[in-house]
Amino acid sequence: MLDDMFSSVNTLKKGLNASWLRNEVISNNIANVDTPGFKASRVQFEELMAEAASSGGKLEMAVTNEKHLKGSGPESFGEVEPEIYTDRTTSTRLDGNNVNIENEMVELAKNSIEYYATVSKINSEFRKLNTAING
């Protein structure tokens, strides 16, 4: 019963954690803008949640070999975790660094907006619960 009452808050919490992680990754990219050979990192979360939603809340693992374990992936939205990956496919400068400071600043601003929108939504969910409890 309590799990159902807080399911939307728990899902929003996952989004909030992903935004926080994304902020740390973007900040690291910005800090290393002048580091030769540095490759920018990104956080993948929304795509994983969309995949979970399209499979009815169940994520199925791709099995490309008969020795692979089946069903070892996240079972629901609650098990989806943000993933950090490094973009090694591009190089925007001669020193091998692929951090574009303008893109990073745009992503940082976008992420801040998403973070505060998620905080606002969580606050709204708690106001609803408060209204239901107090009448």
Domain boundaries, the chain: 2-45+82-134
Q: What is the mean pLDDT of the chain?
A: 84
Residues 6+ apart with CB under 8 A from 62: none
Task: Specify the residue for token string 């940082």.
Answer: 108
Tens of pLDDT along 56-109?
A: 655 455 666 666 555 544 456 667 889 999 988 887 788 889 999 999 999 999
Stated length of the chain: 135
Cα–Cα nearest to 96, from 34, 52, 25: 34
Report the predicted TM-score, pTM, of the whole model to 2 decimal places.
0.76
What percent of the chain has a predicted confidence (pLDDT) above 70? Answer: 79
User: pLDDT band for position 135 (50/70/90)?
Assistant: confident
Contact 23, 112 (CB under 8 A): yes
> In this structure, what token pair is assigned to residue 134?
């107090």
Q: Which of 29-43, 56-70, 114-128 has the lowest mean pLDDT?
A: 56-70
**Residue 18 confidence class, pLDDT cut points 50, 70, 90:** very high
Evaluate if residue 22 carries a pLDDT over 80: yes
**Residue 119 or residue 68, greater confidence:** 119
Q: What is the pLDDT of residue 73?
A: 47
Check residue 72 and give its pLDDT.
43
Output the DSSP codes for 75-104. Answer: -SGGG---EEEE--S---STTS----HHHH
Tell me which of 21 and 59 has the higher pLDDT: 21
The residues, any chain, with a CB within 8 Å of residue 129's CB and separated by 6 or more, are: 5
At 69, is the secondary structure helix, strand, or coil?
A: coil
